């Protein structure tokens, strides 16, 4: 996976921010550690960033910091979420989940009607894939099981969810910090979903 890199100096120039701001955002975990890529250049060590991602992130921070404090922003970007708890009806009202998917989820997961963030994430992913018609209900059950079994990995790492189908047999897997994945011929990759993006989508819906 090769992406275009941008040096720290150019980044500060383009985004119009100062060293102080960049380091403060890094401290607040607004910019993930993995984006700081060290490389040696002829002037010594320099730090580079994945250009597209960092510019998009800085853009987001700059537009949102007017009405949110840095700590609130940090909550928004960080994968391990605070003690957020919502009722079933709240999720439906906020358009995170439709009623049908919610009922299906509750059928399979005999939990209480209070949702913490991992459960919100599960139901949101389910909603997304079911509504787009990419998976059917049985596959939805499989998906939920994968998400539940690996809940502790999802919290820490940047995960990607991959759904494949071959000769009508479907399979669902979770990739942790992977660069690329290859499948045998004839496999149809139904969908890949970055969980980080899902979390950010949920959070922007919640705020």
Q: Which residues contribute to the site for other proteins (CB under 8 A)?
A: 8-9, 18-20, 22-24, 26-27, 43-45
Report in angstroms how near the CB of residue 89 gets to other proteins at its nearest. Answer: 30
Question: Which CB atom, from 70 or from 92, has the smaller least distance to other proteins?
Answer: 70
Question: Which CB atom, from 43 or from 95, has the smaller least distance to other proteins?
Answer: 43
Question: Which CB atom, from 22 or from 174, has the smaller least distance to other proteins?
Answer: 22
Question: Which CB atom, from 26 or from 157, has the smaller least distance to other proteins?
Answer: 26
CA proximity to 144, closest of 106, 112, 177, 181: 106
Report in angstroms how near the CB of residue 23 gets to other proteins at its nearest. Answer: 4
The H helix count followed by the E strand count for the chain is 10, 8
d(CA 43, CA 36) in angstroms, rounded, equals 18
User: Which residue bears the tokens 């071959």?
Assistant: 166
Radius of gyration of the chain, Cα coordinates, nearest whole angstrom: 19
Report in angstroms how near the CB of residue 153 gets to other proteins at its nearest. Answer: 20
Report in angstroms how near the CB of residue 20 gets to other proteins at its nearest. Answer: 3
Contact present, 195 and 158 (Cβ < 8 Å): yes
User: Which residue bears the tokens 């389910």?
Assistant: 126
């Amino acid at each position: 996976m090769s992406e275009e890199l941008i040096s720290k100096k150019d980044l500060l120039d383009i985004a119009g921010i100062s060293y102080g701001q960049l380091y403060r955002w890094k401290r607040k975990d607004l910019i993930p550690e993995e984006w700081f890529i060290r490389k040696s250049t002829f002037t010594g060590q320099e730090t580079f960033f994945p250009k597209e991602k960092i510019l998009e992130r800085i853009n987001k921070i700059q537009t949102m910091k007017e009405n949110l404090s840095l700590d609130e922003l940090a909550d928004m970007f960080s994968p391990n979420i605070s003690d957020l708890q919502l009722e079933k009806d709240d999720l439906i009202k906020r358009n995170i989940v439709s009623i049908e998917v919610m009922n299906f989820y509750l059928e399979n997961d005999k939990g209480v009607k209070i949702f913490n963030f991992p459960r919100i994430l599960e139901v949101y992913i389910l909603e997304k894939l079911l509504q787009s018609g990419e998976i059917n209900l049985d596959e939805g059950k499989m998906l939920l099981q994968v998400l539940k079994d690996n809940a502790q990995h999802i919290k820490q790492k940047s995960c990607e969810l991959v759904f494949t189908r071959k000769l009508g047999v479907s399979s669902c897997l979770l990739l942790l910090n992977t660069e690329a994945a290859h499948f045998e011929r004839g496999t149809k990759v139904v969908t890949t979903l970055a969980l980080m993006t899902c979390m950010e989508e949920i959070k922007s819906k919640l705020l």
